Structure 1
Amino acid sequence: MRSIFSILLLSLFASGLMAQLDRSTPPEAGPAPQINIGEYEKFTLKNGLRVFVVEDHKLPMVAYNLTLDIDPVFEGEAAGYVSLAGDLMRSGTTNRNKAEIDESIDFIGATLNTHSKGIYGRSLKKHNATLLELMSDVLMNPTFPQEELEKSLKQMETGIQAEKNEPSAIANNIASVLRYGKDDPYGEVVSEENLANITTGHLKTYHQTYFRPNAAYLVIVGDISVKEAKKQAKKYFGDWEKAEVPGHTYSQWPTYEAPKVAIANRDGANQSTIMVTHTLPLTPGHPNAIKASVMNQILGGGSFNTRLFQNLREDKGYTYGAYSRLSTDKRIGYFSASAQVRTSVTDSALNEILYEMERMQTELVPAEDLELIKNMMTGSFSRSLEDPQTIANFALNIERYDLPADYYRTYLEKVAAVTAEDVMAMAKEYLNPEQAIILAVGEADKIEEVMRGFSPASEVTRYDYYGHEVSGAVAVSDITAEEVIERYLNAIGGPEAIETIQDVTTTATAAIQGMELKMVTRQKAPNKLLVETMMGNNVVSKQVFDGAKGKVTSPMGEQELEGEMLEQMKEGSAIIAETNFLKEGYSIELQGVETIDNRECYKIIVTRPSGNESTAYYAVADGLKYREVSSTPQGNMVTNIKDYKEVEGFMFPQAISQSVGPQNFEVTIDSIEINTGMEDAVFEN
């Protein structure tokens, strides 16, 4: 057998076939694969609704996707109403309430979703009539019930509170404002004040103005013929009344002659979220769009082989991932490159991003790298053709963006034709590090100086979550940290009166991920504490400290506290925490005055005997505490303190919101009782 293998090897060498296995020279790229894009039919109703039909008889399902083709709307003082109008369309009509709509959709196992620019429905073919009746009712007759609006507004406000502690959300808001300006639809950031201005009138006006058939496309995909689709479209959408839909003009977005360097603060952060971004004039279907996409895929488009990923993660170890995005748009596109890195390498990581952007402009991409990315794009595009919805989207894009009829049929040919010279040309055309926005969100006091190095004028501007320009903590010399704490104690009732508080019972309600929990907190001077959390009438967790020993009881069992955890419970057991801040073992440092939610506050760093640090903000105007930032195993916890009211001569907050990572908790204080004669036995453990 061995001799046979030897003969075969000699034959391979003699014939030259063995040379073909030499992997030192990459094979030449073959021709672009032939693709078969499914057909579609289109027609227009008398009211102007343009309909596209893609037949797919593999499954007895049909999907209906209606999309508006309208200009972006600037919302102004009521920013947020456009998305709410879309979300609440299916919350009730003149014929059905929300419960009836939900029940009908569930009964037939269908899907029905609405958004600010359209509506989507999908069901088994045998349920088409029921789905379309519901879909057309929701589309043409929404009532936007006040109670549903109030629920959604509360959810949006809760979402804002959570995002204020999320660095990527802060970075995206600031980037949008700096790319487009606050007076542009793309640059608006929704605030709590905006939400308070929204009425059902805003929602109804938006719907009546923009949801018109002559500004819409209806895409039908599935087990249906063109004849059936025409019949359905006429029956369920033919009576939809057309009307003139306004267009809009916009101010020119900002331009920068030099890099615009921006930072935002997130107290206690041990990472920085960094971004390099700028606008670019690239519309969908532009002759350069495919070549520019190849360029971006090489730079940082999402795979492990991109230059940003290889540089910042594999080579430098700065981050788990670094990516870039190139987005086309009918008005104005944008480029961004981003990562999350350790605070200590904020400037180094940004330098590497800028280096890779510039390298794309000055060095030709090696043939192997280019072919790898083109092969990936070819595979992704080919796989997408397995979904008939892709064909429908192609038809819609050709119509909306006035693309050549063969744009997608020749897509792979265009990808295959991209050269290294094309990639360099696209980088020179669409990457602009010299006029980019260079942004970092993190511990602002630690990164501000290194960020100055990216500005020729050494200028760094601070922004808050909303994209408002703010100052950092401004040093003050007319007050000390001790005096700030004394002002707070006086503001809530005065030191002498506080000493008369022997016990406090606080009952609160917390909304957590749709669940409602009741919390009862009992405190007794000087340092006894009991916190019980209940769901219904059942206690689900209990924390108790009797002044010396502490214990936590939860569904996981009981845990006697010791060491650092016991010390932390002891430090948190005082009825008024600030009464301890001036005592031995505590250290307080005034960092200056900083703007927090449009309120000037003294920023105090508190170091406890355990070594744990927290940051507290006390208003310059009234002395009350409005925010505290502390560290937890799950990440930084931001506590916003709101709605102070007098209770038996003392000022207590009536609402608290807490954010830990992506989680947000809204707490409403239901009652506060003072000096009820609480017994020590309450705290036995």
Structure 2
Amino acid sequence: GAGHSTLELAGFLSIQVVTKPAMAGGLSFKEVEEKVRASIAEFETRGVTQEDLDITKTQVLRATYSQLNSIDSKSGVLGHFSMMKGDGYGLQNEIDRYNEVTAEDVLSVYNKYIKGRKAVILRVEREAKKDDDDDTPKSVNPHANDPKKTEAQYEGLVYNAPKQDYITPSVPAANAFKLPDFYTEKFDNGLKLIGTQSSESPLVYFYIDMEGGHLLESDKKVSTGTAMMTASMMGEGTEKLTTEQFSRELEKLGSSISFNSGTMNSSIFVSSLSKNVDATLALLKDALFQPRFDAADFKRIKEQTIEGLKSQKSNPSVMANKAWSKIMYEGTILSDYYYGDFKSINKIGLDDVKSFYKTYYSPNVSTLVVSGDISKEDALSKLSFLKEWENTNVVVSAVPELKMPSKTVIYLVDKPYASQSTIYAGHPGPKFDYKGDYFKSGVMNYTLGGAFNSRLNLKLREDKGWTYGARSGFSGNKQYGVYRFSGEIKKEATDSAVQVLMEEVIKFSNTGITQEELDFTKSSITLSEALDYETPFDKLNFLNSIIENDLPKDYTMQQAAMIKGMSVADINAVAKAQLKPDNMVIIVVGHAYKVRDGLNNLGYGKIKEITVD
């Protein structure tokens, strides 16, 4: 891909290429550079067509509208233009500025700034496996050891700290936020629909959530990773359009259609300018009902998936997630990471993907969310084609009850020469509810690990300086729930961080919250809730939660009333019931040689060293 960034003094064009190493059948560095330079030369020969210009201008228009959806992004745009131009921001002026660009303008910029120019080329390859235990940082800067010299213009400068002369605003009263109006519908084939209209920007979003995903791979006839690969193939064109043609049509419209799959579901996300909804939904219809399933596309997707598995081996967060799944969800389908492994992915053929699509893509386990600049009447009319979606009566198997660990155990995954350790720690928790144990646990955890000024973050980040951020939280759905802490910790402090984490959890479980902390929690949670429904995309997420969990229209009012009425004793009772410091699974991904001894000395018995694929 290519991109252009502008700063105060200059801009720069960047081109990024990702390829397999030459030794694994990919391109050599020389071949990559030759192809990039050939592409640049082709740009000059081919020129810029009117279609190219139209696509670019449509993409810019969509991005311009998108960045003005929230208060935060609006303030950022206004501040940036005020600083850089000094004359404020005008939306129509910005749109006109791009619409006036011609093909001649583009080629003029190419000739002035790109053609014949030198480039900085950064080459990054997978590091060869080391045989020794040398984790000393190595600089790739050729000037790293040059003597430091102070330029004359900086000599004698004195820093004068600015005076902060401002008045701290008063905190407004925390009142419950009233949900935006929404409508619901159910088609005869079982598809449930929920939507809301928002006309601040001419954008429309659609989200189809199909329950199942990895859970449908519990039948051993379906290899782990099939759901994910099926979703990947669904976005590769239609019976009428190749992958390239499908992508090109979406680019012309300034629209996007993406298929995804994870642990609990498969999904489709669609975004469109409101004026292009009809054409976008026509492409969605063909993609959903007549996917291409081309053999060459499948081969490429499978190769990319396998390369992704290789990359995951160097990603400590993915390694920690895999280890967490392996231990926390032992005895369930969830213990296998949804992405699959080399063995399971290699088993999957194109016919397996076709079978998964035909069997499990069904409206009876699906919900459709609509948000943006479209009325209920128009939405129902334009989406009526989904009534033709065949119901295959999918049944999603229930996840067995998660087993509470009998004691706290530390598991170590070796990530040689890692400069920091990724730490997960937690235990099973309550399933999702909007006013029971799950909800109350979330309120309780806000002080412990849910906010920036929570006890865990203040202790590990502000006090100790061991991390950029540490959080804990309860997450859950209809099937299961967990409590989990996560943080990236400086390697040398790995064992100390685990010790501090456990001390804070034990302390909170035993002595609970203060009145001052509870007052802050009540105010912060209630006041911040308004931003949860601000943009059309935010509304999409909360509407999906409403229809997925069958929540009442006044559930936010009920929650606000509960929070307002909670006492210190109430919070402390929840903490004592829901925090299980004696039954924790602690996952550490880090340099085993450096952190092993410290972890073994924490008093939780001999650590268990495990591997992940």
Same fold per superposition (TM over 0.5): yes
Say yes or no: does 1:459 pair with 2:606.
yes
Which of 207, 219, 237 is the equivalent residue of 1:92? 237
Q: 1:642: which partner in 2?
A: none
For 1:410, what is the secondary structure of its paired residue?
A: helix
Say yes or no: does 1:69 pair with 2:219.
no
For 1:252 and 1:292, how far apart are their aligned partners in 2?
A: 19
For 1:229 and 1:85, how far apart are their aligned partners in 2?
A: 27
Q: 2:567: which partner in 1?
A: 419
For 1:389 and 1:42, how far apart are their aligned partners in 2?
A: 18
The percentage of aligned residue pairs carrying the same residue is 25
Deviation sequence 1:133-162 (CA, Å, 0-9, x none): 101111122132222222222222222222
Matched letter for residue 612 of structure 2: Y
Say yes or no: does 1:212 pair with 2:362.
yes
Higher strand share: 1
For 1:91, what is the secondary structure of its paired residue?
A: coil
Offset at residue 392 of structure 1 (A): 4.5
Q: 1:262: which partner in 2?
A: 411
For 1:439, what is the secondary structure of its paired residue?
A: strand
Q: 2:491: which partner in 1?
A: 343
Offset at residue 198 of structure 1 (A): 1.4
Offset at residue 380 of structure 1 (A): 2.4
Q: Closer, same or farther in 2 for the Cα pair 1:49/1:275, shift >3 Å?
A: closer
Offset at residue 463 of structure 1 (A): 0.8
For 2:291 and 2:258, how far apart are their aligned partners in 1?
A: 13
For 1:178, what is the secondary structure of its paired residue?
A: helix
Which of 252, 255, 260 is the equivalent residue of 1:115? 260
Q: 2:192: which partner in 1?
A: 50
Q: 1:176: which partner in 2?
A: 325
Q: 1:40: which partner in 2?
A: 182
Higher helix share: 2
For 1:436 and 1:378, how far apart are their aligned partners in 2?
A: 31
* 8 Å CA contact 2:413, 2:609 repeated in 1: yes
For 1:371 and 1:221, how far apart are their aligned partners in 2?
A: 34
* 8 Å CA contact 1:56, 1:388 repeated in 2: yes
Q: Output aligned runs, 1:389-400, within 5 Å.
A: 389-400=537-548
Say yes or no: does 1:78 pair with 2:227.
no
Q: Output aligned runs, 1:458-537, within 5 Å.
A: 458-466=605-613
For 2:549 and 2:206, how far apart are their aligned partners in 1?
A: 21
For 2:276 and 2:234, how far apart are their aligned partners in 1?
A: 21
Deviation sequence 1:260-305 (CA, Å, 0-9, x none): 22111122234332221212123242513332112222112241x1
* 8 Å CA contact 1:292, 1:427 repeated in 2: yes
* 8 Å CA contact 2:422, 2:489 repeated in 1: yes
* 8 Å CA contact 2:216, 2:396 repeated in 1: no
Q: Output aligned runs, 1:115-514, within 5 Å.
A: 115-116=260-261, 117-181=266-330, 183-185=332-334, 187-188=336-337, 190-234=340-384, 236-303=385-452, 305-454=453-602, 456=604, 458-466=605-613
* 8 Å CA contact 2:217, 2:226 repeated in 1: no
After alignment, is 370-379 or 345-354 more displaced? Answer: 370-379
Q: Closer, same or farther in 2 for the Cα pair 1:338/1:101, shift >3 Å?
A: same
Q: Closer, same or farther in 2 for the Cα pair 1:340/1:221, shift >3 Å?
A: closer
Q: 2:73: which partner in 1?
A: none
For 1:317, what is the secondary structure of its paired residue?
A: coil
For 2:444 and 2:499, how far apart are their aligned partners in 1?
A: 20
Matched letter for residue 56 of structure 1: S
* 8 Å CA contact 2:421, 2:490 repeated in 1: yes
* 8 Å CA contact 1:290, 1:415 repeated in 2: no
TM-score normalized by structure 2? 0.67
Q: 2:161: which partner in 1?
A: none
For 1:48, what is the secondary structure of its paired residue?
A: coil
For 1:316 and 1:62, how far apart are their aligned partners in 2?
A: 46
Matched letter for residue 506 of structure 2: E
Q: Closer, same or farther in 2 for the Cα pair 1:369/1:258, shift >3 Å?
A: same
Q: Closer, same or farther in 2 for the Cα pair 1:380/1:153, shift >3 Å?
A: farther
For 2:284 and 2:254, how far apart are their aligned partners in 1?
A: 14
For 1:259 and 1:95, how far apart are their aligned partners in 2?
A: 56
For 1:42, what is the secondary structure of its paired residue?
A: strand
Q: Closer, same or farther in 2 for the Cα pair 1:365/1:250, shift >3 Å?
A: closer
Offset at residue 360 of structure 1 (A): 1.3
* 8 Å CA contact 1:324, 1:335 repeated in 2: yes
Q: 2:115: which partner in 1?
A: none
For 2:190, what is the secondary structure of its paired residue?
A: coil
* 8 Å CA contact 2:470, 2:487 repeated in 1: yes
Deviation sequence 1:589-642 (CA, Å, 0-9, x none): xxxxxxxxxxxxxxxxxxxxxxxxxxxxxxxxxxxxxxxxxxxxxxxxxxxxxx
Matched letter for residue 112 of structure 1: I
* 8 Å CA contact 1:259, 1:455 repeated in 2: no
Offset at residue 102 of structure 1 (A): 0.8
For 1:363 and 1:98, how far apart are their aligned partners in 2?
A: 59
* 8 Å CA contact 1:261, 1:455 repeated in 2: no
* 8 Å CA contact 2:431, 2:438 repeated in 1: yes
Deviation sequence 1:316-365 (CA, Å, 0-9, x none): 23333222132112111111113233433322211110111111112232
Matched letter for residue 362 of structure 1: N
Matched letter for residue 328 of structure 1: G
Offset at residue 199 of structure 1 (A): 1.2
Q: 1:525: which partner in 2?
A: none
For 1:290 and 1:54, how far apart are their aligned partners in 2?
A: 25
* 8 Å CA contact 1:221, 1:388 repeated in 2: yes
Q: Which has the larger radius of gyration?
A: 1
Matched letter for residue 328 of structure 2: R
Which runs of 5 or more residues in structure 2 are unaligned? 1-166
For 1:233 and 1:426, how far apart are their aligned partners in 2?
A: 45
Which runs of 5 or more residues in structure 1 are unaligned? 1-22, 467-685
How many residues align? The count is: 438
After alignment, is 99-108 or 386-395 more displaced? Answer: 386-395
* 8 Å CA contact 2:421, 2:588 repeated in 1: yes
Q: Output aligned runs, 1:8-23, within 5 Å.
A: none
* 8 Å CA contact 1:66, 1:219 repeated in 2: yes
For 1:271 and 1:219, how far apart are their aligned partners in 2?
A: 40
